[in-house]
Amino acid sequence: MLNRIILHYAELTLKGCNRNTFVKKLRINVRNKIKSMGHIWDVVTIHDRMFIEVPDDYTGDIDAIAEKLADIPGVAWLSRVYWFSNKKYDFFEYKPDLSEIDTLIEKLAIETYEKDKSFAIRVKRSDKRFYQTSSQLEIQLATVILKNTEWKTVNLNTADQYFYVDISSRGISVHTNRIKAIGGLPVASTGRIMCLLSGGFDSPVAAYLMAKRGCNVDFIHFTASNIQASKIEDYKVSKIAQNLSQYCGKVRLYLVPYTHIDLALMDKNLDYDLILFRRFMARVAEKLADSLFAQCLVTGDNLGQVASQTMENVVSMTKSIDMPVLRPLLTYNKEEIVEVSRKLGLFDLSTEPYKDCCALISNSPKTKSEHNKLVHIEETFLSEYGALIEDTLAEKQVIAYNFGNRIPYV
């Protein structure tokens, strides 16, 4: 009997002929995540599942590793499994000796026993050559449990505890408790986005949601000044990016100073300073995103949450660039966002004090703006616009992570 982690895909079965590509991406992501935990283990795809081949001599905490793998987009659920693979199972018609499986099921049943609860056995035959039908084997194993343990009730529809046996041409796996994973699609399967990342709650959640739908994610963050190279790693927003990379895999965070636009706006007393600033952020981000082959910008905007997020201001920002701006949180309630933030383990970090630029640029932003009016203001008062973008990007700094570990810039 060997230890394995079994992993079940989320929506990949729906993807028709693209399915293989999706599975390959997921397999690469799973291997990289395992590598980030210090292990180089094989990941094998059998039928519609992936098996992680935990080495026989591994003595660490397999359940803890399984829990971390639940954070990988594209995984629906996973479980630690017991794997029987032996020559005698290769030719099922010769009726392999299943006594080892009986013994294991009995052991698991004893370990998970709860008074007055019901159980059920679920057998799946991916290889139909197996000499018993699924229900025959289910009855046989249920009898073992009823005879040799304290479990008394079988409930075939909604049991409290399930024991799963999967029979494939490569072997037989047995598992019980499943860990629910985040689902979605594997990162790198749907596109590349650039997220405008702040030090707040919303944009990290927006980035996570895009990764969950299969996007590669990079970040841009506007800072009040250049950050000393030696301090970048301890910077709040870098820590947020590092945390997100546990879900997003490889990410790059670009830090750019907003001093140039701040100076240009200073003393002009323009009514629309905050929305002008947000249009500037969009343009700088678009330019950087283009150079990295990202297809869209993503923000954590939430309709009506703050004065800068009125429909008019959201539209004015959108119209300032050609690149589409996606806002996955636009319709969320604050508590829904906070709930995800907590689940990601970002809540405490996001609440740490941080002076973000929007608050510094203006404390009473205009709620209604209009694109044409803003274009006129920009042409009149910010005539060196192209240079402002160039100068800002010339000072960019970058830090990169892969599944939570810092990596050299790639």
Considering CB distances under 5 to 8 angstroms, the limit depending on partner class, which of ligand ATP, Mg ion, none binds residue 222?
ligand ATP
What letter does residue 385 receive in the DSSP assignment? H
| CB of 189 vs ligand ATP, minimal distance in Å | 23
- Torsion sign, CA atoms 156, 158, 163, 166: positive
Measure CA of the first residue to CA of the last residue in the chain; give whole Å.
42
* Strand positions, DSSP E, 97-170: 118-125, 153-154, 161-168
Which of 101, 194, 357, 400 is close enough to bind ligand ATP by CB under 6 A? 357
Q: Which of residues 337-356 bind Mg ion (CB under 5 A)?
A: 356
Q: Which is nearer to ligand ATP, 270 or 281 (CB)?
A: 281
Options 119-127, 149-157, 215-223, 287-295: segment touching ligand ATP (CB under 6 A): 215-223
Residues with Cβ within 8 Å of 155's Cβ and at least 6 positions away in sequence, in order, are 118, 119, 120
| CB of 213 vs ligand ATP, minimal distance in Å | 17
Measure the CA–CA gap between 362 and 383, rounded to whole angstroms. 21
Options 145-153, 192-200, 318-326, 331-339: segment touching Mg ion (CB under 5 A): 192-200
Q: Which is nearer to ligand ATP, 100 or 262 (CB)?
A: 262
Measure the CA–CA gap between 285 and 182, rounded to whole angstroms. 29
By CB under 6 A, residue 165 contacts ligand ATP: no
- CA-wise closest residue to 369 among 308, 313, 330, 317: 313
Considering CB distances under 5 to 8 angstroms, the limit depending on partner class, which of Mg ion, ligand ATP, none binds residue 197?
ligand ATP
By CB under 5 A, residue 245 contacts Mg ion: no
Residues with Cβ within 8 Å of 145's Cβ and at least 6 positions away in sequence, in order, are 105, 106, 109, 119, 121, 151, 163
Options 136-144, 179-187, 191-199, 378-386: segment touching ligand ATP (CB under 6 A): 191-199
| CB of 302 vs ligand ATP, minimal distance in Å | 6
- CA-wise closest residue to 145 among 161, 169, 128: 161
Which of 203, 245, 341, 402 is close enough to bind ligand ATP by CB under 6 A? 203
Count of residues making up the chain = 410
Number of C-beta neighbours around residue 344 at 10 A? 21
| CB of 274 vs ligand ATP, minimal distance in Å | 8
By CB under 5 A, residue 200 contacts Mg ion: yes
- Classify each residue of 353-387 as buried b or exposed e, where b means 16 or more C-beta atoms within 10 Å of its C-beta: eeebbbeebbeebbeebebeebeebbeeebeebee
Q: Which of residues 16-75 bind ligand ATP (CB under 6 A)?
A: none
Q: Which is nearer to ligand ATP, 350 or 402 (CB)?
A: 350
Q: What tokens does 136 get?
A: 């025959």
Q: Which is nearer to Mg ion, 111 or 348 (CB)?
A: 348
Which of 190, 198, 245, 397 is close enough to bind Mg ion by CB under 5 A? 198
Considering CB distances under 5 to 8 angstroms, the limit depending on partner class, which of Mg ion, ligand ATP, none binds residue 168?
none
Q: Which is nearer to ligand ATP, 44 or 359 (CB)?
A: 359
Q: Which strands sit side by side in the sheet containing 325-326, from one edge to the other? A: 325-326, 296-298, 191-196, 215-223, 250-257, 397-402, 405-407
Measure the CA–CA gap between 82 and 80, rounded to whole angstroms. 7
Which of 41, 89, 151, 201 is close enough to bind ligand ATP by CB under 6 A? 201
| CB of 332 vs ligand ATP, minimal distance in Å | 11
Considering CB distances under 5 to 8 angstroms, the limit depending on partner class, which of ligand ATP, Mg ion, none binds residue 248?
none
Binding mask 240-269 for ligand ATP (x = CB under 6 A): ------------------------------
- CA-wise closest residue to 118 among 151, 69, 165: 151
Q: How far is CA 65 from the centre of its chain?
A: 16
The residues binding Mg ion (CB under 5 A) are: 198, 200, 356
The residues binding ligand ATP (CB under 6 A) are: 196-198, 200-203, 220-222, 281, 299-302, 305-306, 308, 356-358
